[in-house]
Amino acid sequence: MPAVGCSDASVSVHYTPLWQFLRKMGLPPDRADDVAQGAFLIALERLPNIMTGSECAYLHATAIRIVHGMRRRSQREVLEADLDLGRSPSPSPEDAADQKRARELLEVLLEGIEFQSRTVFLSFEVEGLTIPEIAASLAISRAAATCRLRQARRRFRALVRSLNVV
């Protein structure tokens, strides 16, 4: 099992897509940074065990496990409102407002999908991971990953129809 090398280039290739994936999972920017960095630290420790070509799946799986742990802990804590929503680098205030409304709508739609199915949905539809990669990263069968993807798509379409979005 050949191990992946750790270099600045490999970090720069995988960090931004991982961070964006974590943001789409609902993490605020600072938490996405922390989780992404944590995933890279864990990957660095496990470097000899990561097969070449599986770096992305390993980082995503590690980040998902970190997020699961955070969510379990947060269910026991009193949650505070996230005040960092809506910051956008768009030059036009109208564009920024439109983008914010679209993001909020997407977050509402995604929150309506059960967490495990949402994870598979985002991994497949947004990150472009394959069913085998998703199954391996979540330690589930391919059939379970396919079933969760199908459920998430069905729920997403139902939520879009219920909101008269399209």
How does pLDDT run across 26-79, given as a tens digit for each residue? Answer: 888 888 889 999 988 888 888 888 888 788 888 888 888 888 888 777 666 554
List phi, psi (to 5°) of 5: -80, 150
The dihedrals phi and psi of 115, each to the nearest 5 degrees, come to -55, -45
**Measured distance CA(54)–CA(26) in Å, rounded:** 24
The pLDDT of residue 152 is 94
Helix (H, G, I), strand (E, B) or coil at 159: helix
Q: Which residue has the tokens 């005040």?
A: 83
Q: CB neighbours of 106 closer than 8 A, spacing ≥ 6?
A: none
